[in-house]
Copies of this chain bind each other. A is one copy, B any other.
Amino acid sequence: MPRPRSLTQDQVAAAALAVIDRDGLAGLSMRAVAKELKLSTMALYRYVRDREELEGLVVDLVYTEVDPSPPSGGPWDAKIETMALRLRDAFGAHAAIMPLTLTHRHDSRGSLCWGETVAGILADAGITGPRAAVALRAVIAYIIGAIQLEHLGPLEGEGTVAIAALPADEFPNMAETARHARHIGPDEEFRGGLAAVLRGLGGSGAG
């Protein structure tokens, strides 16, 4: 009976993401998104209850850019590496939204699908029961931590340079570590850490 909606929630989320990609997370406001959609500010509230919900939609949208289908061949750890890299690529392409994932991780269907596939790979590798629960959480913890570290100060970035310049008498180990870190790319760093995590998960049954 009534007037039909002229936008989908996806379009709204896409507009918000466009604002974030262009102006940073600080540039995200209901006014800015409405303008992006050529709508009045308040019209936006016909599509989302509040800013909180809009943020959730943005996180969802990025998750939909992650291919959740299981990688076909190879050993289990290579498969999980593939899944991890997909996640890292998607969120790395919109690094500014990372703070949103912290408050909106729960409410995303995409994250469930990704987790389902990874849990399946673990099960196929013989990691099951409580051990699988710990393993899945450990993998996720490493990935989100690594993504955040990467976009807060990559190994080769200024932060590392600053650390390498620290007083060597006070922080000898950090300075030495940073000296080597400067020659490690973010990709190598991410894969190296992940490989260690997977090696540890696969090795013993201790859990």
Residues of chain B with a CB closer than 8 A to A142's CB: 138, 141-142, 145, 197
Instruction: Quickly give the copy total for this chain.
Output: 2
Cβ contacts A194-207/B at 8 Å (1 or 0 each): 11111111011011
Please tell me which stretch of A10-18, A41-49, A114-122 contacts chain B, meaning at least 4 of its Cβ atoms lie within 8 angstroms of it: A114-122
Contact, CB under 8 Å: B171 / A192: no
Q: Does A105 contact B (CB under 8 A)?
A: yes
Q: Would you give the shortest CB distance from A120 to chain B, in whole angstroms?
A: 5
Q: Residue of B at shortest CB range from A151? A: B102
Q: Would you give the shortest CB distance from A162 to chain B, in whole angstroms?
A: 8
Contact of A141 among B106, B115, B119, B146 (CB under 8 A): B146
Contact, CB under 8 Å: A133 / B177: yes
**Alpha-carbon distance A149/B171, docked complex (angstroms):** 30
Contact, CB under 8 Å: B177 / A119: yes
Of the four ranges (under 10, 10 to 19, 20 to 34, 35 or more), the interface on chain A belongs to 35 or more
Contact, CB under 8 Å: A145 / B140: yes
Contact, CB under 8 Å: B130 / A180: yes
Contact, CB under 8 Å: B133 / A155: yes
Considering the complex, which residues of chain A in the window 104-140 have a beta carbon less than 8 Å from any beta carbon of chain B? 105-106, 112, 115-116, 119-120, 122-123, 129-130, 132-138, 140
Q: Would you give the shortest CB distance from A61 to chain B, in whole angstroms?
A: 19
**Alpha-carbon distance A201/B197, docked complex (angstroms):** 7
Residues of chain B with a CB closer than 8 A to A54's CB: none
Q: Does A181 contact B (CB under 8 A)?
A: yes
**Alpha-carbon distance A120/B177, docked complex (angstroms):** 10
Contact, CB under 8 Å: B119 / A174: yes
25 A-B residue contacts at CB 8 Å?
Answer: A103-B152, A112-B166, A112-B174, A119-B174, A119-B176, A123-B176, A130-B183, A130-B184, A133-B178, A133-B180, A133-B184, A134-B188, A134-B189, A138-B142, A138-B194, A141-B146, A141-B193, A142-B145, A145-B146, A145-B148, A196-B201, A196-B207, A197-B197, A199-B206, A203-B203
